[in-house]
Chains A and B, each alone.
Chain A
Amino acid sequence: MIEFINVNKTYPNGVTALSNVNLEIEQGEFVAIIGLSGAGKSTLIRCINRMHEINEGTLNVDGVNVSQLKGKQVRAFRRKIGMIFQSFNLVTRTTVLNNVLVSSVPELSFWRKTLGLFPKDKKVAALEALDKVGILDKAYNRVDQLSGGQQQRVALARTLAQNPSIILADEPVASLDPVTAKVVMDDFKRINQEMDMSILINIHHVELALEYADRVIGVRKGEIVYDGKSEDVTQDVLNNIYGSITEVPHMDDPEEAEV
């Protein structure tokens, strides 16, 4: 269970990213977080695995107070939480399998991890994770030869090999075309249902959020302005989250152009 109690976060440059956030997310939920860019969605999920620090309030994950963890404890804590990124964040100049194997690095002996020698059981576990997302046949291909959708599934396999209880996804389908985006979202849904992992996903596409998530959280200027079932999201709710659009560019100004 993830629990935010009166959480505040301000960046050193004075920007308030989260203000007075209170949330409770049960194990096994599929939550979509929506809002404008810069509203604080990304900060919200990055606080959960301590990629960002919070300034005030309490954040508990499975009964552990996240802010009080130190050094080694943070790393041990992060092992239980997977993270997926918009730009996949894979090592592109090596094979798919090597990328997935990285998830087992902290469990290896010093020599093994220095030389990059992985034992058989880790390799098998990595291959099984690739099998779960349907790209087992690409195991020995280099990542830069894969399409965007395939790369995001490698990232998903890397996370699965870690065997987490929570997956945080920061705009996982924003760089993908609509069809591939659906395939990746289907993967998330399947993982959520079959393995009982909690999934928190930041997402731009409102339709995808409503279609896949059980619960939607709307963020506006660092505040939670909506928290409820995805079926209950109405146009009014969306207007409130995204604000009314006033900043339409005027086309009739005398414009300067470079020739």
Chain B
Amino acid sequence: MEETFYDKIFKPKTYTLENGKTVKQRASRTPIVLLLVLVATYASFRTTGADLSLLLSRGHQFFVIIIGMIPPNFKFISSIWGPLFDTIQMSLLGSLAGALVAIPLALLSSSNIIKNVFVNGFFKFFLSILRTLPTLVLALIFTFLFGLGTMAGMLSIFVFTASYVGKLMYEHIENVDMGAFEAHESMGLTKVEAFRYAIIPEVLPTYLSVSLYAFEGNVRYAAILGYVGAGGIGLVLNERLGWRDYPSVGMVLLVLMIVVFIIERVSEYFRRQLS
């Protein structure tokens, strides 16, 4: 048993059995972890000014807007369709383009496909950096570059999808059993043929499933992109919230909920077929 730094401070207990064997029990890590979490939580309370009593005294304010949304303004639906379709269209296009670009990125990152540590490392790092950039910040930058509208929203979804699908796929590709690839080479297939028949059938279902999942999330996410002017239903949502027109906000949320629910069910159905 290797003694870590922790074991040097908190000595393991030693038990001696009747037959002379000794057994060491490491001191449990749980107390110190709990202590750290508690300290961090306390510090966070101080920093954020969180105050639970405020929830009791002013909590009802939270429901003011919700109550304002009921009943939703059903007449508003005619102004929702256009932006709603914009949102779906930009998620669809961004997800599709992102998923396609993710393929070369994932292959270049996989150490069992491209056998060059520097290339793998570079693309893995590139994907990580892309993933850390908040989508909303990307969308804002794109509105500066491409003007306000769905193009900016589509591009930020595209970047996010490429990085998300790219990362999940290289992790999957690196874990694929290379046995079939070896077998195909032993049958006289070229490396490209072996890749086509050994690796692709193994990763394709996962790829499609991950891409669908990304699309699901993107529709939900695209709804807020309008906040920074990147088109879609978020624009309407932001505007109506600003005017305190809560019944219309309620209608937007209701429609959004139904659409997201339908898309999730359809996507879940296909993802289940794939696995």
Contact = CB atoms under 8 A, between A and B. Distances in A.
Interface of A: 49, 51, 74-79, 81-83, 85, 87-94, 98, 102-103, 105-106, 113-114, 116, 155, 158-159, 162, 254-259
Given A257-B24, A258-B1, 18 more contacts: A51-B186, A82-B187, A85-B183, A90-B183, A92-B177, A92-B202, A102-B184, A102-B197, A105-B193, A106-B190, A116-B197, A155-B183, A158-B187, A254-B22, A256-B22, A256-B23, A256-B24, A259-B25
B184 to A, nearest CB: 6
Contacts of A74: 188
Given A75-B189, A83-B186, A106-B189, A255 B202 contact: no
Given A75-B190, A105-B193, A256-B1, A51 B185 contact: yes
B180 interface: yes
Contacts of A106: 187-190, 193
A102 B25 CA distance: 54
Contacts of B134: none
Interface of B: 1, 20-26, 177, 179-180, 182-190, 193, 196-198, 201-202, 204-205
Contacts of A159: 187
A98 B202 CA distance: 12
Given A98-B201, A258-B26, A259-B25, A91 B188 contact: no
Contacts of A75: 188-190
Contacts of B205: 93
A47 to B, nearest CB: 12
Nearest to B24: A256
B187 A79 contact: yes
A158 B189 CA distance: 13
A72 B24 CA distance: 60
B186 A102 contact: no
Contacts, number: 93
Contact of A91 (B24, B193, B201): B201
Query: Which 6 A-B residue pairings sit nearest by Cβ, starting from the closest?
Result: A89-B179, A89-B183, A78-B188, A83-B186, A75-B188, A79-B188
B180 to A, nearest CB: 5
26 contacts: A51-B186, A76-B188, A78-B185, A78-B188, A79-B188, A81-B186, A83-B186, A83-B187, A85-B179, A87-B177, A89-B177, A89-B179, A89-B183, A90-B180, A91-B197, A91-B201, A91-B202, A93-B205, A102-B187, A102-B197, A106-B193, A159-B187, A255-B21, A256-B22, A258-B26, A259-B23
B182 A51 contact: yes
Contacts of B26: 258-259
Nearest to B201: A94
Nearest to B186: A83
Contact of A105 (B20, B182, B197): B197
**Which of B25, B187, B202, B204 has the most chain A CB within a 10 Å cutoff?**
B187
A190 B32 CA distance: 65
Contacts of A113: 193, 196
Contacts of A81: 186
Contacts of B179: 85, 87-90
Contacts of A88: 179
A155 B184 CA distance: 11
A93 B21 CA distance: 49
Contacts of A114: 196
Given A91-B197, A98-B201, A113-B196, A103 B21 contact: no
Contact of B187 (A91, A98, A103, A254): A103
Contacts of B21: 254-255
Contacts of B183: 83, 85, 89-90, 155, 158
Nearest to B178: A89
A77 B1 CA distance: 51
B7 to A, nearest CB: 11
B182 A89 contact: yes
Contacts of B185: 51, 78
B107 to A, nearest CB: 17
B31 to A, nearest CB: 16
A90 B183 CA distance: 8
A49 B185 CA distance: 10
Contact of B20 (A79, A90, A93, A254): A254
A102 B201 CA distance: 12
Contacts of A258: 1, 24-26
Contacts of B189: 75, 102, 105-106
A85 B198 CA distance: 15
Contacts of B180: 89-92
